[in-house]
């Protein structure tokens, strides 16, 4: 099992943030754990989920449609066409 990510800030970075003089920021900075390196920042970001087969199909289909230069509402017509193509494709 992958270890849980724990966000942290180095002590020097925390001190620099405290120098800004914002009391609300100081409270939040104090909640964050200290990193071993005084200049380190560690943030925990979820990786993006891979795009589904449907999303890839619709993206490619919409790129092939002549949408550029048309009014905003025109895209829905092409989206409906792409969705119909998805439903009618052979598995």
pLDDT digits (tens, 9 = 90+) for 10-59: 999 999 988 988 888 888 888 999 998 988 888 888 888 999 999 999 99
0.85 surpassed by pTM: no
| Any domain includes 48 | no
Containing structural domain, residue 73: 53-88
Per the CB < 8 A criterion, the answer to whether 9 and 38 are in contact is no
| Any domain includes 2 | no
pLDDT band at 70 (very low <50, low <70, confident <90, very high): confident
Whether residue 57 sits in one domain with residue 38: no
pLDDT band at 64 (very low <50, low <70, confident <90, very high): very high
| Any domain includes 3 | no
Whether residue 37 sits in one domain with residue 13: yes
| Any domain includes 26 | yes
Q: How many domains does the chain have?
A: 2
* Residue 91 confidence (pLDDT): 63
Q: Give the C-alpha separation, 22 to 72, whole Å.
A: 43
* Residue 73 confidence (pLDDT): 83
Whether residue 36 sits in one domain with residue 57: no
């Amino acid at each position: 099992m992958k270890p849980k990510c724990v966000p942290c800030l180095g002590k020097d970075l925390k001190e620099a943030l405290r120098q800004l003089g914002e009391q609300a920021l100081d409270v939040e900075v104090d909640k964050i754990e200290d990193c071993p390196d005084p200049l380190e920042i560690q943030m925990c970001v979820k990786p993006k989920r891979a795009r589904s087969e449907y999303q890839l199909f619709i993206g490619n289909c919409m790129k092939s449609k002549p949408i550029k230069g048309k009014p905003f509402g025109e895209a829905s017509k092409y989206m409906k066409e792409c969705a119909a193509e998805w439903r009618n494709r052979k598995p």
